[in-house]
Structure 1
């Protein structure tokens, strides 16, 4: 545990995430269960801050583990391959509680998308309360599902999704993907995207020692 706290204090998120992955998947029998919640909280922070390569590797390792908390899988959605993304969305649809509405100003989003001279990512981050880094990955995904999740989760309709996709999405993004994403699952995933680094701090682990 001292080694883990040292990595957290140094903000070495990628090696910390790799270490914590083993711990979460194969919980030591001699570790008290009261430690599990703070360890998972720290792991969530490490996953969100880890580099893309680490996220992709850990997504593959955690695939098929139905006992992994959904919030951890949500943190890896953008780094996951297509089949695992669908699995994550399905788990949100089946396991998640009905989310609070997450509407944004549709007109403001479309106006910002059309303004080629403006900072669309910055405006969208402000309107949606989602980190700019996350939005950059969403908009750059060629498959289009993350953008469909974003728009569904923010309460935007298919026409708005199509406009944003054509104006700001990846080239040749398939517009039909919007209809494959369930609104509830999208809203739950977007809710997790809105989390900031302040949600989970290393102090939680220290307090549980």
Structure 2
């Protein structure tokens, strides 16, 4: 299926696609990267040291590709109502419709927050900066933001520089295909 329009329209179209849980690669945009969802979720869990009693927020949770592998007090947020419906249908998680630059939770409400492969779809760097401030505001002890593109095959992707993440712990992409082209930004409790 071909998707067109703005990123918001594309993610809505994906969520409206007929299919089931076996189509998570497409619903959540993993079809081009060919990365292993389960391995990525395991690395996120390990990197953030997610425990079963941790309250964890996922920004841009989509249909739940990563969430399915997390054992914690999980809450997801996304702006695609159609993908959120799929998420609830497939996994029954607590998810809410909303904007990442206006997270409706108290300061330091979450133990950990992560956002994987979402920042490239933001509309502007100003929006991304607002999202970063909100993530830091609502998070107590660990943040992980993955797949931040330095360059991209798609001219519609928003690009970043490592200098934009001054004070963050940075590392190269985990996916072999994106080594040197994307990076990961982290903050730990002592830096929040």
Same fold (TM over 0.5): no
When Rg is computed on C-alpha atoms for both structures, the one with the higher figure is: 1
Q: TM-score w.r.t. structure 2 length?
A: 0.30
Point out the structure with the larger helix share. 1
Where is the strand percentage greater, Structure 1 or Structure 2? 2
TM-score in terms of structure 1 length: 0.28
